[in-house]
Structure 1
Amino acid sequence: MRRTPILVVVAITVAAAIWLAPAASAATPTAVFTKTSDWGSGWEGKYTVTNGGTTTITGWTVVFDLPAGTTVGTYWDALMTSSGQRYTFTNRSWNGTVAPGASVSFGFLGSGSGSPVNCTLNGQPCSGGVTPTTAPPTTTAPPTTPPPTTPPPTSPPPNTGLPKHALIGYLHASFANGSGYLRMADVPAEWDIVNLAFGEPTSVTSGDIRFRLCPASECPGVETEAQFIAAIRAKQQQGKKVLISIGGQNGQVQLTTTAARDAFVSSVGAIIDRYGLNGLDIDFEGHSLSLNTGDTDFKNPTTPVIVNLISAIRTLKQRYGAGFVLTMAPETFFVQLGYQFYGSGPFGGQDPRAGSYLPVIYALRNDITVLHVQDYNSGPIMGLDNQYHTMGGADFHVAMTDMLLAGFPVAGNAANVFPALREDQVAFGTPAAVGAGNGYVAPAGVQQAVNCLVRGQSCGSYAPRSGTNPNFRGLMTWSINWDRYYGWEFKNSHEPFLNALP
């Protein structure tokens, strides 16, 4: 598209022995480690720092050892130093303050089979205080559970406040392109998510994202910023979500350095705060994402533009909490093409952008609200039936969407499977009208595809491997402006249709 003390003594006579319970300590901060995924040769880990005390923590340091043969690679939401097998993580500037009862987290990728041991939090055991029981401690070791060998499923759907089936559209808020400017106050109430197009960088590699309303010289009738913000509030009071979309056709964003990553977090956060937005849409196109030669495992990416984007989005998600809405609008080239080709390939020579969204989607699979791939401006793409599908008809929508609902091996490797997303995380994108983009499908064809995916009815030549998907999230379009220009065909056809779905 164009464009986050009481001493208790317990006497128990057992064979003339008396056991004295240790003094109970008050609740203290803890740092709990979890492996969020494990793929055999490596894993993704997370520490959650929780303030169980009564005073605010103003900074934290987590230190642990890893056994020989296990190392830390990429990390996020903390600063890291190491000496031999001992690793020290300290807070970033934005997550060092932890109020009583609150939690923050940081994560990292581990190489090898070991796990952290000898953990301390601010010099104290990561397990925090211990409250005694009235029985002596057992000497029997607790049972252990081996780490999983396959990634866990995505987490249960959060309460986003969205309807079960949503209508999602992009609003040309910063430019005009022939379809005419549309004021926020005039966006019809049928649109459940409105993505503001676009926030764009000051330069390709700066990470510094800027957004401004379309200038009056280009968009006669544009509202004032105060009116724009007031209209956003009115939409939100109706239960609608308004997001800033980053990128688009002209907004190339390459977070090649950690400085660019931090600038992205700061500048996008500033836009969200200024306009009081509900979250973020990632619409990276062109050459924003590509994979370095040798980066062949989507579960363990090493390319800076990929790693830094994942880290930046995680930081924003952590900053704004569970209600933060995160959507993505990749093109098929960056997602479904990964079934055949991933990056430059094991021998080089392929387009390094092929499938390059996959590590981002995989890493953020528990944070994504909706992934709506652009089923337009696309070449033929092979589906799970190993046949090429061409845009412009219902089968293309079904085949491309089924890949996300069923999962698929990446680059033909059956041992390296991109796991299915939850139904409620998946929608698909289609042009609102013939003038909005290549691959337009008339309403009857779009609804045929949805009926096939949701009900298993009206399927054409492609039978979904994912079965029926009653929680399929809905439809995205480029764009609200183009839909208005063509008499609201998209909205008027699909909003009542989505509402009638089971």
Structure 2
Amino acid sequence: MRRLRWPHMVGICTVTVALVLGVTAAPASGAGGVSATFAKGSDWGTGYEGKYTITNGSATARSSWQVEFDLPSGHRLSSLWDGSSTTSGQHVTVKGTWNGTIAPGASVSFGFNVAYTGTYAPPANCKLDGGSCSATGNPPTDPPPTDPPPTDPPPNPGGAKKLGYFTQWGVYGRQYFVKNIKTSGSASKLTHINYAFGNVTNGQCAIGDAYADYDMAYTAANSVDGVADTWDTGALRGSFNQLRKLKREFPHIKVLFSFGGWTWSGGFGQAARNPAAFADSCYRLVEDPRWADVFDGIDIDWEYPNACGLTCDTSGPAAFKNLMQALRARFGTSNLVTAAITADGSNGGKIDAADYGGAAQYLNWYNVMTYDYFGAFNAQGPTAPHSPLTSYAGIPQAGFNSDAAIQKLKSKGVPASKLLLGIGFYGRGWTGVTQEAPGGTATGAAPGTYEAGIEDYKVLKNRCPATKTIAGTAYAKCGSEWWSYDTPATIRGKMSWTKSQGLGGAFFWELSGDTTNGELMTALSGGLG
């Protein structure tokens, strides 16, 4: 993501959460057969964590398994891991994926979260491979065949993805809350939200800002549903609770917990030394029972594998693929696993430094960061649009444009449907500029509200209205300042190009840069259809 300065960051802590399960019911007598037993874990009043353990007490290996059960009225499955699930009304069917084989005397399990209203009641009418879940039942001798576990998870159904980042620090100086996603009209247009960021440290996923994430008490005025947070023991607060409320009103939205970013990518190198341990730490954090129903998966923003960002990584070209493989194995096929990646399409550049083609089989999609190509981090210029869609005569560096990045990723075997085009809801600018056309010199970064050289669209549209476009991006010279940014018109053009390339959709950084009525979100959504 963008180069960031995080004002007012408080409550930084690292959290590793152990999964605490309740008492497991003992299998029925006759343990020479195969059984499935249910155990209830944590219960937070509106949901609980459950687990089924399938035990093979026979003398022969099982090559697959299928567990079915019914949830009581008012209960619904909100997430599931270590299995592939389908639901029909209250009936849930779960099949083994990577854990389908059970050796004699061995056990496997799958876990899930259930959201409920009213009073808790356990699942009922359990069936294992069509028969009783008790070992004294009569499941088929040869369980029905199941499809092999997919290594290449299919894209989510429902058409083009429209994903926006929500930043945890926006609740401080920016005063941008989850509620604003609703009041701007963006919630009805988004399909996915990435919550940024979790930290990566000591080889593990960790909470980035505990106060903003799950402890900040919201007033009724700032809350999604107009209800203030409580200080009751065990009550979830902060942005996590607000996202939970948003999903209740807009159940089509999926939320992913994003880890890393420009500031916190330095920890990925250590994580890559033990991918399985890293993946397990991330899984336990994302699926913490206090907020497991909030998140539908994980997003990794490693800037940049085997290349340089804020720091330089030397973990090798296979490290990224190995990390993604471990995450998919741990999160299973029911959760989303995605990654934000470089858009450096130059020869020998960052895309060439890691095996993005090989890793794609484990991911639902890539968020290709097709912005920040040029900016006042090069203080003297030359001025150039920070998010050019295509190349143009005089572009400062070959391969630094969206088209070059997308074509390079396609050439490495990444399916177009797994590529999302990146849009910046902000501009980059210089000061000390005398030339209106791109390519001029400058004396430094133009002033910005939060960071020099960067400004939100909602400010720039009035402060320095766009007058011209180049390479599909708008720009303007206002006094001695020169700014480039996307407008509703250029976003519609980029969305048309996105569809022509067969891409999976688009994403943007980030929600607080838009106007209060969601001008850019409306253009993005309308352009994708």
Name the TM-score, length of structure 2 as normaliser. Answer: 0.49
Q: In the alignment, is residue 477 of structure 1 matched against residue 470 of structure 2?
A: no
Deviations 1:359-406 (A, max 9, x none): 3422221222222222221139xxxxxxxx953444359984444554
Q: Superposition pairs for residues 399-478 of structure 1, below 5 Å?
A: 400-403=401-404, 405-407=406-408, 418-434=411-427, 435-436=455-456, 439-455=484-500, 469=501, 471-478=502-509
CA RMSD of superposed structures (Å): 4.4
Which of 171, 175, 197 is 2:166 aligned to? 171
Contact in 2 for aligned 1:377/1:439 (Cα 8 Å): no
Q: Please list every run of 5 or more consecutive structure 2 residues that lacks an aligned counterpart in the other structure.
A: 5-58, 65-96, 109-142, 224-228, 230-236, 376-383, 393-398, 428-454, 458-482
Q: Match of 2:351?
A: 355
Distance in structure 2 (CA, Å) of the matches to 1:158 and 1:172: 28
Contact in 2 for aligned 1:406/1:420 (Cα 8 Å): no
Secondary structure of the structure 2 residue equivalent to 1:366: helix
Contact in 2 for aligned 1:432/1:478 (Cα 8 Å): yes
Distance in structure 1 (CA, Å) of the matches to 2:61 and 2:277: 37
- Per mean C-alpha deviation after superposition, the further-off stretch among 490-499 and 171-180 is 171-180
Which of 217, 223, 248 is 2:261 aligned to? 248
Distance in structure 2 (CA, Å) of the matches to 1:207 and 1:418: 32
Secondary structure of the structure 2 residue equivalent to 1:244: strand
Distance in structure 2 (CA, Å) of the matches to 1:421 and 1:366: 8
Distance in structure 1 (CA, Å) of the matches to 2:419 and 2:195: 20
**Amino acid paired to 1:290:** N
Query: % of aligned pairs identical?
Result: 15
Distance in structure 1 (CA, Å) of the matches to 2:298 and 2:102: 33
**Amino acid paired to 1:271:** L
Q: Superposition pairs for residues 79-94 of structure 1, below 5 Å?
A: none
Q: In the alignment, is residue 374 of structure 1 matched against residue 369 of structure 2?
A: yes
Q: In the alignment, is residue 160 of structure 1 matched against residue 176 of structure 2?
A: no
Deviations 1:86-128 (A, max 9, x none): xxxxxxxxxxxxx99789989xxxxxxxxxxxxxxxxxxxxxx
Deviations 1:57-78 (A, max 9, x none): 459xxxxxxxxxxxxxxxxxxx
Which of 281, 292, 302 is 2:299 aligned to? 281
Offset at residue 175 of structure 1 (A): 4.8
For residues 310 and 227 of structure 1, do their structure 2 counterparts lie closer, same or farther at Cα, with a shift above 3 Å needed? same
Contact in 2 for aligned 1:195/1:281 (Cα 8 Å): yes
For residues 103 and 495 of structure 1, do their structure 2 counterparts lie closer, same or farther at Cα, with a shift above 3 Å needed? closer
**Amino acid paired to 1:267:** S
For residues 290 and 54 of structure 1, do their structure 2 counterparts lie closer, same or farther at Cα, with a shift above 3 Å needed? closer
Give the count of matched residue pairs. 313
Q: Match of 1:194?
A: 193
Offset at residue 262 of structure 1 (A): 4.5
For residues 218 and 289 of structure 1, do their structure 2 counterparts lie closer, same or farther at Cα, with a shift above 3 Å needed? farther
Contact in 2 for aligned 1:331/1:373 (Cα 8 Å): yes
Q: Please list every run of 5 or more consecutive structure 1 residues that lacks an aligned counterpart in the other structure.
A: 4-24, 31-47, 60-98, 107-153, 293-301, 343-353, 381-388, 409-416, 456-468
Q: Superposition pairs for residues 100-249 of structure 1, below 5 Å?
A: 158-161=154-157, 163-176=158-171, 178-183=173-178, 186-187=181-182, 188-201=187-200, 203=201, 206-211=203-208, 212-214=210-212, 221=222, 224-225=237-238, 227-228=241-242, 230-231=244-245, 233-234=247-248, 238-249=251-262
For residues 256 and 100 of structure 1, do their structure 2 counterparts lie closer, same or farther at Cα, with a shift above 3 Å needed? farther
Q: Match of 2:468?
A: none
Q: Match of 1:314?
A: 325
For residues 218 and 234 of structure 1, do their structure 2 counterparts lie closer, same or farther at Cα, with a shift above 3 Å needed? closer
Which of 267, 271, 282 is 2:281 aligned to? 267
Distance in structure 2 (CA, Å) of the matches to 1:392 and 1:454: 18
Distance in structure 2 (CA, Å) of the matches to 1:396 and 1:56: 62
Contact in 2 for aligned 1:431/1:441 (Cα 8 Å): yes
Offset at residue 492 of structure 1 (A): 1.9
For residues 427 and 281 of structure 1, do their structure 2 counterparts lie closer, same or farther at Cα, with a shift above 3 Å needed? same
Distance in structure 2 (CA, Å) of the matches to 1:400 and 1:291: 19
Secondary structure of the structure 1 residue equivalent to 2:351: coil
4+ aligned runs moved over 6 Å, structure 1:
99-106, 215-220
Name the TM-score, length of structure 1 as normaliser. Answer: 0.51
